[in-house]
Amino acid sequence: QQPVQSPQAVILREGEDAVINCSSSKALYSVHWYRQKHGEAPVFLMILLKGGEQKGHEKISASFNEKKQQSSLYLTASQLSYSGTYFCGTQWGDSSASKIIFGSGTRLSIRP
Amino acid sequence: DVKVTQSSRYLVKRTGEKVFLECVQDMDHENMFWYRQDPGLGLRLIYFSYDVKMKEKGDIPEGYSVSREKKERFSLILESASTNQTSMYLCASSHSGLAGDTDIQYFGAGTRLSVL
């Protein structure tokens, strides 16, 4: 039931772009994106709702393709501060049930 | 700022002991969650609660129970700790309502539990 994230890990040089994908086997109501820095709690980045538009946050944006049941997180001109593990979380069905099922995470390492 | 506080950052217990992990949130959130985090497996939901005295099983409830006697406090209980329960445990809370900025989960810093 967990959404599938890809890639599992990615290493970038500062300034490069990255895409992280999140796929679900069930129809999605919403997709959440969180980032967890080493030794810290996961922190909310953004939420994409069924029927909603692409969201953006600093140089991080995301899209939600309802037909393909997937979301992608785009990191543009990556900065050292973007390092961490990114989790997508999904909610299913036609209404929010508050429960979120998280993927296994994508570890992003940014090198100077 | 929302604050979710977990009582311990590190905990070492022996096999067979009863273990209590405590979580308190200060934003009057209706929903509270317990996850365990293991390398390569992400965040897996153990139990959650929509209201006081209400609880629902998540994906991996075996070996765990929970208690929610007050709205702000959600406890995870390991009735008889086993070595395969060695993990990082994360508590989270969220507000109920129409989707939007609700359902955003706020996490505690985590408790790293070692069962020897």
- The token pair that represents A41 in the structure block: 């709690």
By C-alpha distance, the chain B residue nearest A89 is: B43
Q: What is the pLDDT of residue A28?
A: 81
Burial of B95 (0-12, 13-18, 19+ CB in 10 A): middle
Q: What is the pLDDT of residue A97?
A: 57
Q: What is the pLDDT of residue B102?
A: 59
By C-alpha distance, the chain A residue nearest B45 is: A101
Rounded mean pLDDT, A44-64: 79
Q: pLDDT of B98-115, one tens digit each?
A: 555 557 899 999 999 999
Q: What is the pLDDT of residue B100?
A: 52
Distance (Å, rounded) from C-alpha A110 to C-alpha A108? Answer: 7
Distance (Å, rounded) from C-alpha A101 to C-alpha A10? Answer: 22
Assess contact for A100 and B49: CB atoms under 8 A.
no
**Binary contact (A96, B45; C-beta < 8 A):** no
Q: pLDDT of B8-45, one tens digit each?
A: 999 999 999 999 999 999 999 999 999 999 998 999 99
**Binary contact (B42, A96; C-beta < 8 A):** no
Chain A contacts in chain B segment 50-79 (CB below 8 A): 50, 56, 58-59
Of B43, B58, B109, nearest to A87 by CB-CB distance is B43
- The token pair that represents B69 in the structure block: 């006697």
For chains A and B, CB pairs below 8 A equal 70
DSSP SS3 for B64: coil
pLDDT band at A96 (very low <50, low <70, confident <90, very high): very low
Q: What is the pLDDT of residue A82?
A: 94
Across A53-57, A78-82, B91-95, least confident range: A53-57
Per-residue DSSP letters for A23-72? E-SS-EEEEEEEEE-TTS--EEEEEEETT---EEETTEEEEEETTTTEEE
